[in-house]
Chain A
Amino acid sequence: MTHSARPSGSTHLSGPTRLDHATGIDRSRHISFSVDGQQHTGFAGDTIASALIASGRIDCGASTYLGRSRGILSAGIEESNALVRVKGRIPGDVSESMLPATRVPITEGLEADYLSGLGILDPGQDELVYEHKHIHVDVLIVGAGPAGLAAAREAGKSGARTLLLDDRSAPGGSLLSSPGRSVEGALDESIDEVPAPEWIEATVNGFAEAEEITYRPNTTVFGSYDSNFFVALEDRTRELVETEGTGSGASAGSADSDRDDTASRAGTRQRVWHIRAKQVVLATGAHERPIVFADNDRPGIMLASAVRTYLNRFGVAAGQRIAIAATNDSAYELLADLHAAGIDVPAIIDSRATASAMAERVVDTTGTRLILGSTVTGTAGEGPAGRISRVTVAALDEDAVAAGHGEDIDVDLLAVAGGFSPVIHLHGQRRGPIVWRADIAAFVPKTPVRDQFTVGAINGDYSLEAALKDGAEAGNAAANRSGFAAALTVPKAAAMTFAPARPLWLVTSAEDDHTALTTHFIDFQRDQSVADVQRAMNAGMRSVEHIKRYTSISTGGDQGKTSAVNAIGAITSILGETDLGSVGHTTFRAPFAPVPFAALAGRRKGELFDPARITAIHPWHVAHGAEFEDVGGWKRPWYYPRPGEDMEAAVLREGKAVRESVGFQDASTLGKIEIRGTDAGEFLGQIYTNGFKKLGVGKGRYGLMCTPDGMIFDDGVTLRVAEDRYLMTTTTGGAATVLEWLEEWHQTEWPHLDVVFTSVTEQWSTVAVAGPRSRDVIAKIAPNLDVSNENFEFMGFRETTLAGGIPARICRISFSGELAFEVNVENYYGLAVWEAVAEAGAEFDITPYGTEVMHVLRAEKGFIIVGQDTDGTVTPQDAGMEWIVSKFKDFIGKRSYSRIDTAREDRKHLVGVLPVDGTTRLAEGAQLITSGTPVTPEAGPVPMIGHVTSSYMSPSLDRPIGLAFVENGRNRTGEIIQSPVAGSLVDVEITSPVFYDPEGNRRDG
């Protein structure tokens, strides 16, 4: 089929057309799409870029900062000019920006717009499915070029679980740019005596039959981490759009030949792979670089390898009169192919002074004019977007400085072959060592990272023969190292040798004034030129890392793919040096290519973003309008506003209910750890500042635990359930940390103690019932229990059976200072018991209360909350809790209380702080200062004497109260100090931290 089959009238009629020969398009399938509102048609297999070039459009969005016309530069992931925004194509899809047109396959009806280097975020809701996959493999191979394919074949046939990932849509790597047929004068690219495409097809078909080989195209490995952990992005957008978009009714996965997980992939747009590999083969290839001359950014200046890709893979001649600027032998492959396709090549301009063997052969065969020892020094343009129309060629002297004004040559495309930069990013992300090789002008891995191999072009080995041999051997060795042996078969290809390159870092005849080189572009996406590099160096920078950040070169989507080595070359030239290795490379970091946040999030969005822990009673809280607070991953009722109530009103009401009648709270989230063993009491005595060994069965005790430096770490009540069994409660947020703490001390210091720990937080539901009428409520729900003060003492607990037949453990514990009980039942009964309490308490107007009023009521009593009032620098003595610190036994932290700093009398002490005006509520976290301290810029720093840790409106005192830590505070009771509130200083009186019922009379009801 020829280009005459193309529908006419819907595309640009001028410009290049399809050639007879193309390896990567299906001419039987026409696909219509639009760019910038202009309709185009391409073929299945086309990218936006290839189809546009076929339609005659090579220019793309103007540059980001300078607004310069730009054109398609590459044919792959290294594209830094041709970035598009693609509109949502299927229901639930949103527009996506910053996609390289060189990577987006066209689909029917696709609408795209070129961007000027900056994306536009679609505010719509992305409803498509993104997911993560975790996989362990024996051998991971990155890159499905000849080296990667050979490696995969050898690794896979051993039975090793082999994963081959490639960012392109088809296997073959650099061979995808080849003509796939014999071309006069060109390199022989047959493998095992068949044309390369046949070998690739046979090899990949072999993968389908092998049980343990998985090959994924369109999958970009973007991160390499310790212990061979890799992350990759698989893009299935085209498959998804073509399935969903046709409306054929077929299930999304039905056409999927994938055998391992067809169902789960259906409908997935993108997937992030998390891969652990025993062995890794990096066959990531190389990217070509532009050449840095004046106006090197004009539309119609394209990487030579890309010109070749469009020509051979897509059947598109990017120009009709193409000059080639060469610095190495690779350009001659393009020349041979252009000649075979009948494209006019007015000249090939080679920086090298003498013709290499390959140059001579191809130039002889094609009859092309060869200009040696010269290069392009500038360009001129005309027509749409100033597409290139002429190149100026000048001879180079020994120092690669252009000598005088040379010759002008008319062209419509310039192919630049500035040399290849091996894709060493994944190697570099692991801090793999790299070395500069002057003969090929490239940074290559010095030695692979442990348990990795590097093969093919990443090593600067550009011959097919070497790629196949190294790839096969690495695949075989990688499998062998992971325990799978097989006989090695090396695919054969013709030997190739390439002559040394002559790189050009800075094409200029005015090397002493680099600041004038404002159109010698290095980073196209960032619009940064040699002049910008010179400016950074004029500012005193020499390190490539500093210059990168000063100029922003190699940041953005490019991440150094086309720009890094040219920047280093420019720096080296400006320094008057020749060895790029002495300047060095910037640090490689993930991601290798941009990754959508949607893919990174995967399914962890909405309620799965941060899954909440909820108690058995949660539905009741929701039904009763609770506002929730997040604590330790739990949703805890914060307060229960009634209609028309704000938070303060609700909290005051709930607080009054507890003080005057009765309230109940869901306390199920408190951490609960069962501690068993004959030495459990001994162990707890070491952990807590107070003793637990002599605690009687059926009794509970409040305990405080400290770190070895003597600072408060956690607190809670621990019950002695049996001789060898305790039930410890911890703070809601500290449960996991405390469990780990217990394990640490037991396992690492006292393994001889017979004690084990089990988290039972989620096994128990706890209903706290507090207030003067709580005894009446408990009596109703637990008819078998003697709840009298005489027979059910404070800090005691009882096992009983509730009215409904539910076994329960009821404790007399109070965090509010009121008479209070805690009813503990199996989690299964939690909601039922909560409702039973609500029903029993109805006659007393029992009120549900949340964490806020719990905090307020305990603050009225001067009880600390670990983590709110303490911050890891507070000792029990600081908090006024000497009463709980045993003088008789040792425990973790005790030794520290005699250290000079902790023994000081004037440390910050826990005190009460009362705003003198009786109405102003202090800010939690606010600083406290001595009255009269000048607070002005002139007076300089203001000495701080403490800070507010808790501050509330007190329902019992009907005024604001606060807790604070103040230097020497306990000895300053009655002193008036100051704290800033809303921009002015308010007077605050230092008081005892116990504001309510200091005698403790209310505890027993």
Chain B
Amino acid sequence: MLLIDCPHCGPRDETEFHYGGQAHVAYPADPHALSDREWAEFLFYRDNDRGLYAERWSHSLGCRKWFNAIRDTVTYDFTAIYPMGQARPDTAEAAPQASAIAEADPQPHPTAGFEGAVR
């Protein structure tokens, strides 16, 4: 069971959260300006990446706040958690993005460490 670092409540069990699918798929400003194909792609098409994936989570049984996260779909490791509305951070280094949270949250909190295995 994943331990998810809610930006507002700190680390909590996965069972308190609701998965919200791919992040950064904005609701079109004017849906009626889209062709049927474009609208269908908004409705039904999502990436299915292997590796780092930007996705949305809601702490539905806690503070009810939505947030974005970068998670590795192979290892399930979270490499970044950042507020809604913020651009996807550069995660090439898979570094924790505590600073992104600190900006939105007056109380910065530690995210999980990502040091390598010792053996």
Q: Which of A276, A448, A749, A895 contacts B118 (CB 8 A)?
A: A448
Asked if B55 is at the interface of the complex by the 8 Å CB criterion, the answer is no
A740 and B76 contact, CB distance less than 8 A: no
A747 and B65 contact, CB distance less than 8 A: yes
Asked if B98 is at the interface of the complex by the 8 Å CB criterion, the answer is no
Q: Which residue of B lies closest to A470 (CB)?
A: B119
A227-B118 contact in complex given A740-B18, A743-B64, C-beta closer than 8 Å: no
Residues of A contacting B60 in the complex (Cβ-Cβ under 8 angstroms): 736, 740
Within 720-759 of A, Cβ neighbours of B (below 8 Å) are at 736, 739-740, 743-744, 747-749, 751
Contact size range, B: 35 or more
Residues of A contacting B115 in the complex (Cβ-Cβ under 8 angstroms): 481
B84 and A229 contact, CB distance less than 8 A: no
Q: Shortest CB–CB separation between residue B41 and chain A, in angstroms?
A: 12
Using an 8 Å CB-CB cutoff, how does the interface string of B56-77 with A read, 1 for contact, 0 for none?
1010100011100000000111
Residues of A contacting B116 in the complex (Cβ-Cβ under 8 angstroms): 450
B119 and A895 contact, CB distance less than 8 A: no
Rounded to whole angstroms, the CA-CA distance of A452 and B119 in the bound complex is 9
Q: Which of A227, A481, A898 contacts B3 (CB 8 A)?
A: A227
A708 and B43 contact, CB distance less than 8 A: yes
Within 71-119 of B, Cβ neighbours of A (below 8 Å) are at 75-77, 84-85, 112-119
A709 and B66 contact, CB distance less than 8 A: no
Using an 8 Å CB-CB cutoff, how does the interface string of A293-326 with B read, 1 for contact, 0 for none?
0000000000000000000000000000000000
Asked if A661 is at the interface of the complex by the 8 Å CB criterion, the answer is no
B32 and A709 contact, CB distance less than 8 A: no
Q: Which residue of B lies closest to A892 (CB)?
A: B27
Of B56, B58, B64, B116, most buried by chain A (CB within 10 Å of CB) is B64
Q: Shortest CB–CB separation between residue A987 and chain B, in angstroms?
A: 40
Q: Which residue of B lies closest to A707 (CB)?
A: B43
Residues of B contacting A900 in the complex (Cβ-Cβ under 8 angstroms): 36
Q: Which residue of B lies closest to A477 (CB)?
A: B118
Q: Shortest CB–CB separation between residue B69 and chain A, in angstroms?
A: 13
Residues of A contacting B65 in the complex (Cβ-Cβ under 8 angstroms): 743, 747
Q: Shortest CB–CB separation between residue A907 and chain B, in angstroms?
A: 16
Residues of B contacting A450 in the complex (Cβ-Cβ under 8 angstroms): 75, 77, 114, 116-117
Rounded to whole angstroms, the CA-CA distance of A890 and B3 in the bound complex is 39
Q: Which residue of A lies closest to B20 (CB)?
A: A744
A896 and B43 contact, CB distance less than 8 A: yes
Of A477, A739, A744, most buried by chain B (CB within 10 Å of CB) is A744
Asked if A642 is at the interface of the complex by the 8 Å CB criterion, the answer is no
Residues of A contacting B32 in the complex (Cβ-Cβ under 8 angstroms): 890, 894-895
For the A-B complex, the count of residue pairs with Cβ-Cβ distances under 8 Å equals 81
Rounded to whole angstroms, the CA-CA distance of A172 and B115 in the bound complex is 32
Q: Which of B1, B42, B64, B77 contacts A229 (CB 8 A)?
A: B1
Residues of A contacting B36 in the complex (Cβ-Cβ under 8 angstroms): 898-900
Q: Which residue of A lies closest to B110 (CB)?
A: A483
Asked if A447 is at the interface of the complex by the 8 Å CB criterion, the answer is yes
Q: Which residue of A lies closest to B4 (CB)?
A: A227
Residues of A contacting B66 in the complex (Cβ-Cβ under 8 angstroms): 743-744, 747-748
Rounded to whole angstroms, the CA-CA distance of A452 and B117 in the bound complex is 7
Rounded to whole angstroms, the CA-CA distance of A708 and B44 in the bound complex is 10
Asked if A32 is at the interface of the complex by the 8 Å CB criterion, the answer is no
Rounded to whole angstroms, the CA-CA distance of A736 and B58 in the bound complex is 13
Within 661-676 of A, Cβ neighbours of B (below 8 Å) are at none
Rounded to whole angstroms, the CA-CA distance of A450 and B65 in the bound complex is 29
Q: Shortest CB–CB separation between residue A598 and chain B, in angstroms?
A: 22
Within 436-466 of A, Cβ neighbours of B (below 8 Å) are at 445, 447-454
Q: Which of B18, B39, B64, B117 contacts A448 (CB 8 A)?
A: B117
Within 583-627 of A, Cβ neighbours of B (below 8 Å) are at none
Residues of A contacting B26 in the complex (Cβ-Cβ under 8 angstroms): 749
B118 and A453 contact, CB distance less than 8 A: yes
Residues of A contacting B44 in the complex (Cβ-Cβ under 8 angstroms): 709
A751 and B84 contact, CB distance less than 8 A: yes
Q: Shortest CB–CB separation between residue A373 and chain B, in angstroms?
A: 36
A447-B43 contact in complex given A895-B32, A895-B34, C-beta closer than 8 Å: no
Residues of A contacting B113 in the complex (Cβ-Cβ under 8 angstroms): 451, 481
Asked if A829 is at the interface of the complex by the 8 Å CB criterion, the answer is no
Rounded to whole angstroms, the CA-CA distance of A747 and B116 in the bound complex is 35
B20 and A895 contact, CB distance less than 8 A: no
B18 and A227 contact, CB distance less than 8 A: no
A751 and B3 contact, CB distance less than 8 A: no
Residues of A contacting B42 in the complex (Cβ-Cβ under 8 angstroms): 708
Residues of B contacting A709 in the complex (Cβ-Cβ under 8 angstroms): 43-44
A447-B34 contact in complex given A481-B113, A749-B27, C-beta closer than 8 Å: no
Q: Shortest CB–CB separation between residue B23 and chain A, in angstroms?
A: 9
Q: Shortest CB–CB separation between residue B62 and chain A, in angstroms?
A: 12
Asked if A209 is at the interface of the complex by the 8 Å CB criterion, the answer is no
B31 and A895 contact, CB distance less than 8 A: yes
Residues of A contacting B40 in the complex (Cβ-Cβ under 8 angstroms): 899
Q: Shortest CB–CB separation between residue B31 and chain A, in angstroms?
A: 4
Asked if A199 is at the interface of the complex by the 8 Å CB criterion, the answer is no
Asked if B2 is at the interface of the complex by the 8 Å CB criterion, the answer is yes
Asked if A815 is at the interface of the complex by the 8 Å CB criterion, the answer is no
Q: Shortest CB–CB separation between residue B79 and chain A, in angstroms?
A: 12
Residues of B contacting A454 in the complex (Cβ-Cβ under 8 angstroms): 119
Asked if A225 is at the interface of the complex by the 8 Å CB criterion, the answer is yes
A448 and B119 contact, CB distance less than 8 A: yes
Q: Shortest CB–CB separation between residue A671 and chain B, in angstroms?
A: 15
Asked if A226 is at the interface of the complex by the 8 Å CB criterion, the answer is yes
A743 and B58 contact, CB distance less than 8 A: yes
Residue pairs across A and B with Cβ atoms less than 8 A apart, 18 shown, are A226-B1, A226-B76, A227-B2, A227-B76, A276-B3, A448-B117, A450-B117, A477-B118, A708-B27, A709-B44, A736-B60, A743-B64, A743-B65, A747-B65, A748-B20, A749-B27, A751-B84, A899-B40
Residues of A within 8 A of B (CB): 225-229, 276, 445, 447-454, 474, 477, 481, 708-709, 736, 739-740, 743-744, 747-749, 751, 890, 894-896, 898-900
A448-B118, A474-B118, A749-B26 known; 13 new pairs, CB 8 Å cut-off, are A447-B119, A450-B116, A450-B117, A452-B117, A453-B118, A708-B42, A708-B43, A743-B58, A744-B58, A747-B84, A749-B27, A890-B31, A895-B31
